[in-house]
Chain A
Amino acid sequence: MTAAYVHQRDGVVKLTMSASRPKTGQRPIGTAAGRQPGTATRLTTAMNPTTARPGTRGGAAAAGVALNAQVTVVDRPMTQQGLGGMKTAAKGMRQVHDRTYYLGLVRSKVNELNSEITRLNKEIENISEENSSYLTYEKRAEILASEIKDLQGELGDYNTLVDKLTTDEDIQDVEFDLNDLRTANEREAKKIEDLFEVKKKKEETIKQLEHELDQEKRMADNLVNDMNPEMRQKYFRLKDMNEHMLKQLESGQQELDVLNSKTEGLQEELSMSQVKQEAVRLYEQLNELEMKRDSLIEEAKSTTSPAEEREKLLKQVKEDNQEIASMERQTNEFREKTDSLREEIHQLDMDIEENQGERNQKYKELKKREETMEEFLTTFETVKSQEHQKIGELEQNVVSLLEHISRNMGRFQALPSQNELAEMKEDLAFKEGEMKKSEYTSMGLAHENEKLREDLEKVEQLEDKIQTELAMLREKIANMEAELVTFRDLDSLQRKSDDKKQKLQADRVILQKRKETFKRNLKQLNATYEKLKSDLNDNETYTQLGNLERKWQHHEQNNFVMKDFINAKTMECNYRPISKRVFVGVGEYNAQLQSQMANNPGV
């Protein structure tokens, strides 16, 4: 390819190349490098497809440049990159390849192989050992895993126990739970047993069915055996055919499956690429068109000669034309008819409108008149009576007015003069002023009256008080007078006081004496008490008793504290009131629900 390109670009080079080409191009590589000193030949060797080096590297453009500048090409150190150089490089460093050298090489390799083999052997041994140990370890791991499972179960039990303890649950609750679980377990066990029985039954039935099947088979065999030879042969033949068909069916099914999967795969592929879809579409079009073409060809085949066809067609056309003409005529007739009818209708409408307009107006007017007359007739009586009443009232009014006027006429003669009127007016004003004044005074008097009444009440109260005071004072006076009698007799008083004094003094003496004796007695008693006390303290049993008492006290105290604690705990743990409350609440709720349900059972 590169060579052809060069030829097109440069005519001069073309000439030189064409001169040397046929010879060098077909020569082997090694000889070309050694014998041909020409630059042109060198280039061709470089261009040779077998070497492929410069061509691939430089590409087409590079080759072109090189050809244009010929002098530079000569200077190039082509030997280094040429094939001659390659040859020397490929050869080994040693010039003499004798037997011992190779022996040594082989030995070293053998040694290496041996060492490698031993290494691999060791590795294998290690692995087998590890394998064996791995097995034992696995076993142990399994054992340990089972142990861990057991221990975990135990731990769970303990945890639940601790939970119960910490939540202060009653042992009754725990027992209750236990019973629940036990009953549930029993139920499950029963279920399992039932299932097992069912399974057994099923197995039995299966066995029975198998047995029956065997019997049937045997019966069939017997039947076959009993048949005459022709029938038997036919039977066998049919049997073989059946088997054969079955096999075929199976294989066909498999094939179908394979094809289905294939089509699916292909369809997927199709959906992936647009080009293929396009192709499918085109194929479909092609199919359609082909079908069309086929049908057309068939038609063409079926048709008779063109002349007959033409006649036929002409006939058909004529018939059609005739038919069309008759149809048009008919339509025209119908159209005319409809037009005439329409006109008639229009005229009739006009007549009706004209007649109705005039008559309607008259009729309406007459009706209005009739209505007004009827109204007048119906309301005439009432209106008449109303008018009569009005007339009566007016007459009465006139009479009363006339009476009034006549009375006033009578009075007119007795009226006073203007001066007199003025005097009378003055009088009136004066008297009115007087009246107002007297009213004021009466109001003031009423006020005063109230005040005085209040005063009177107060005075009465005071009187009551004074009377009670008077009674008290009288009592006091009586007392004082009584006392006066006693106090008048001073001597007797003196005597009395003296007596009292003496008595009190005597008492004092006695009491002092008593005090002394008391003191003495007390001292003695104290002494005896002290003595007894010391005796008691010396007594061993007393001390022991004391110690015991103290101990007892301590115990009692402990007891009390414990009792308190127990009481508190029992109070804490007492769930009965709560449970009672809950039960009551549930009962109420149930009752409410029931009543609701009873009230509107639809909900």
Chain B
Amino acid sequence: MYDLAGKGGGASIVLATSNDQRHPPENMLDGSDDTFWSSTGLFPQEFILSFGNTADVQKVSITGYNIRHLQIEKSTSPDASSFEPVTEKDIPQTDGQLQVQDIDVRTKASYLRFVVDAGYDHFIAIYKLNVSGNA
């Protein structure tokens, strides 16, 4: 069991609905708490994480800010299509601190889609994404 989304894990972001030059979506996978991906306004926002092959995903741990509600969907098809909902979660507001949330997934997937359909402010930020599981 190791971090599927970490460096060398082979995971990559294949879709993000916001793309700021200074805060690209890759910032979520670089393992650093100092860099982040930022939305550019409006909801819902989503990004798709690709593992390359089908992987056994156990747990997702997300570090972000101003996220109110998060949905996670999965797809096992080789192209990113026909997603099925896995779980969803309300995340409580933290004032001046980062939100750190562990979410149990326990499923097999080649793609994971994260949909943020509500935030506590106009913009949200995601600092770090850890996906633990087996390839």
Q: Which A residues lie within 8 Å of B14 (CB)?
A: 510, 513-514, 516-517
Does B80 make an interface contact (CB < 8 A)?
yes
Does A281 make an interface contact (CB < 8 A)?
no
* CB-based contact A514/B13 at 8 Å: yes
Give the Cβ gap from B49 to chain A, nearest Cβ, in Å: 11
A520 to B12, CA, bound (A): 17
A516 to B12, CA, bound (A): 14
Does A36 make an interface contact (CB < 8 A)?
no
Does A518 make an interface contact (CB < 8 A)?
yes
Does A521 make an interface contact (CB < 8 A)?
yes
Residues of B within 8 A of A (CB): 12-16, 26, 48, 50, 79-81
Does A126 make an interface contact (CB < 8 A)?
no
Residues of A within 8 A of B (CB): 510, 513-514, 516-518, 520-521, 524
**B16 in complex: contacting residue of A514, A516, A524, CB < 8 Å:** A514
- A513-B12 in contact given A520-B80, A520-B81, A524-B81 (Cβ < 8 Å): yes
Q: Which of B15, B16, B26, B50 has the most CB of A within 10 A?
A: B15
A510 to B81, CA, bound (A): 18
Q: Which A residues lie within 8 Å of B12 (CB)?
A: 510, 513
A84 to B74, CA, bound (A): 169
Q: Which B residues lie within 8 Å of A513 (CB)?
A: 12, 14, 50
Give the Cβ gap from B22 to chain A, nearest Cβ, in Å: 15
Give the Cβ gap from A507 to chain B, nearest Cβ, in Å: 9
Could you name 16 residue pairs across A and B whose Cβ atoms are closer than 8 Å? A510-B12, A510-B13, A510-B14, A510-B26, A513-B12, A513-B50, A514-B14, A514-B15, A514-B16, A517-B15, A517-B79, A517-B80, A520-B79, A520-B81, A521-B15, A521-B80
Q: Which B residues lie within 8 Å of A524 (CB)?
A: 81
Q: Kindly report which residue of chain A lies nearest to residue B79, judged by CB atoms.
A: A520
Q: Kindly report which residue of chain B lies nearest to residue A513, judged by CB atoms.
A: B14
Q: Which B residues lie within 8 Å of A510 (CB)?
A: 12-14, 26
Q: Which A residues lie within 8 Å of B16 (CB)?
A: 514
Q: Which B residues lie within 8 Å of A521 (CB)?
A: 15, 48, 80-81
A513 to B15, CA, bound (A): 8
Give the Cβ gap from B5 to chain A, nearest Cβ, in Å: 15
Q: Kindly report which residue of chain A lies nearest to residue B16, judged by CB atoms.
A: A514
A513 to B81, CA, bound (A): 14
A524 to B16, CA, bound (A): 16
Lowest 4 A-B CB distances belong to which pairs?
Answer: A517-B14, A517-B15, A517-B80, A513-B14
A542 to B12, CA, bound (A): 43
Give me 11 other A-B pairs in contact (C-beta within 8 A), A517-B50, A518-B15, A521-B48 excluded. A510-B13, A513-B12, A513-B14, A514-B13, A514-B14, A514-B16, A516-B14, A517-B15, A517-B79, A520-B80, A521-B80
Q: Which A residues lie within 8 Å of B26 (CB)?
A: 510
Q: Which of B12, B14, B16, B79 has the most CB of A within 10 A?
A: B14
A524 to B111, CA, bound (A): 16
A358 to B16, CA, bound (A): 154
Q: Kindly report which residue of chain B lies nearest to residue A524, judged by CB atoms.
A: B81
Q: Which A residues lie within 8 Å of B13 (CB)?
A: 510, 514
Give the Cβ gap from B37 to chain A, nearest Cβ, in Å: 13
Q: Which A residues lie within 8 Å of B15 (CB)?
A: 514, 517-518, 521
Give the Cβ gap from B94 to chain A, nearest Cβ, in Å: 30
Q: Kindly report which residue of chain A lies nearest to residue B48, judged by CB atoms.
A: A517
Q: Kindly report which residue of chain B lies nearest to residue A521, judged by CB atoms.
A: B15
A510 to B26, CA, bound (A): 10
A520 to B16, CA, bound (A): 13
A124 to B60, CA, bound (A): 135
A514 to B26, CA, bound (A): 12
Q: Which B residues lie within 8 Å of A517 (CB)?
A: 14-15, 48, 50, 79-80
Give the Cβ gap from B83 to chain A, nearest Cβ, in Å: 9
Q: Kindly report which residue of chain A lies nearest to residue B82, judged by CB atoms.
A: A524
Q: Which A residues lie within 8 Å of B50 (CB)?
A: 513, 517
A1 to B63, CA, bound (A): 173
A517 to B13, CA, bound (A): 10
A104 to B50, CA, bound (A): 157
Q: Which A residues lie within 8 Å of B81 (CB)?
A: 520-521, 524
A521 to B14, CA, bound (A): 11
A389 to B13, CA, bound (A): 133
Q: Kindly report which residue of chain B lies nearest to residue A523, judged by CB atoms.
A: B81
Give the Cβ gap from B119 to chain A, nearest Cβ, in Å: 21
A514 to B79, CA, bound (A): 12
Q: Kindly report which residue of chain A lies nearest to residue B46, judged by CB atoms.
A: A521
Q: Which B residues lie within 8 Å of A520 (CB)?
A: 79-81
Q: Which A residues lie within 8 Å of B48 (CB)?
A: 517, 521
A521 to B81, CA, bound (A): 7
A166 to B48, CA, bound (A): 74
Give the Cβ gap from A401 to chain B, nearest Cβ, in Å: 115
Give the Cβ gap from B14 to chain A, nearest Cβ, in Å: 4
A591 to B32, CA, bound (A): 87
Q: Which A residues lie within 8 Å of B80 (CB)?
A: 517, 520-521
A440 to B26, CA, bound (A): 91
Give the Cβ gap from B128 to chain A, nearest Cβ, in Å: 19
Q: Kindly report which residue of chain B lies nearest to residue A518, judged by CB atoms.
A: B15
A513 to B16, CA, bound (A): 12
Q: Kindly report which residue of chain A lies nearest to residue B113, judged by CB atoms.
A: A521
Q: Which B residues lie within 8 Å of A516 (CB)?
A: 14
Give the Cβ gap from B72 to chain A, nearest Cβ, in Å: 16
A524 to B80, CA, bound (A): 10
Give the Cβ gap from B96 to chain A, nearest Cβ, in Å: 33
A524 to B26, CA, bound (A): 25
A518 to B79, CA, bound (A): 11
A565 to B16, CA, bound (A): 53
Give the Cβ gap from A517 to chain B, nearest Cβ, in Å: 4
A520 to B50, CA, bound (A): 14
